[in-house]
Amino acid sequence: MPSPSLPAAPLLLLTAFLSACGGGGEAGGEPVFEPLFDGKSLDGWHVDVPGADDNPDLPPTFVVRGGLLMSLGTPQGHLITDRAYRDYRLEVEYRWTGEPGNCGVLVHCSEPRRLYGMFPQSIECQMHHSNAGDFWCIGENIETVDMETRRGPDPEEWGVEEGKRRRILNLTDGSEVPPGEWNTMVIECRFESVDIWVNGDLVNQGVNCTASSGQIALQAEGAEAEFRRVDLFKL
């Protein structure tokens, strides 16, 4: 006896449902590649430098030179994506051009200037030289294993506001290459988790994040850094 066939309309609905359940950003569950930096311009980004509010003639903080995105360190502020993202892997290649110092990649950004009149509400994935991979909680919270060791022994002191213990130490403190060489930082955000790798080492794993989506930002916080790749893969 021939096998019964589904009517055309239900069959189309079933096909669409199965495709939607495939996971990932495209058919087959493969991540969808989206370069956030095109090597030529700052298209898709906007700058937030508080010092420019009253002094529009301040020199630029973020520029493109020789195909590289440069954070000049000062005036301090952030370069923020125009769009918000969720469930992605972000791959960033960066190096220090001179004396290494402080910079960072911020994920799940929302309210601008949430802290100290400059930092957007977010989770910072630290690039600070010798501390790459630390978490800093800026108006959002995240949890890790060994919180008492890595954030401080008294949970009453933990928090996301000024004066609270907002830093969560990374797992390695030895994964960076020498200054002047290229580092690769990979940040994977899935649901309420954020994982960070530096040069292939898993340096932090956070869970129960209080945000699961938002804009992405690059920091200018005193030291000059170059970025040659800022690539996003939708998961």
Strand 201-206 to strand 193-198: parallel, antiparallel, or no bridges (unpaired)?
A: antiparallel
Host domain of residue 174: 29-234
CATH number of 230's domain = 2.60.120.560
pLDDT in tens, 34-83: 999 999 999 999 999 999 999 989 999 999 999 999 999 999 999 999 99
Query: Which residues are within 8 A (CB) of 108 and not within 5 positions of it... i.e. 6 or more apart?
Result: 122, 123, 140, 189, 194, 209, 211, 212, 213, 214, 215
Residue holding tokens 């960072």? 104
23 within some domain = no
98 within some domain = yes
Using an 8 Å Cβ cutoff, are 116 and 166 in contact?
no
Residue holding tokens 């009453």? 156
17 within some domain = no
SS3 74: coil
Q: What is the pTM of this model?
A: 0.88
Q: How far is CA 169 from CA 125, 132, 141, 147, 149, in A?
A: 11, 9, 14, 9, 9
Average of per-residue pLDDT across 160-167: 98
pLDDT in tens, 107-129: 999 999 999 999 999 999 999 99
Q: Indicate the number of domains in the chain.
A: 1
7 within some domain = no
Q: Which two tokens stand for residue 178?
A: 């020498």
In this predicted structure, the answer to whether residue 212 has a pLDDT above a threshold of 60 is yes
| pLDDT level of residue 14 (50, 70, 90 thresholds) | very low
72 within some domain = yes
206 within some domain = yes
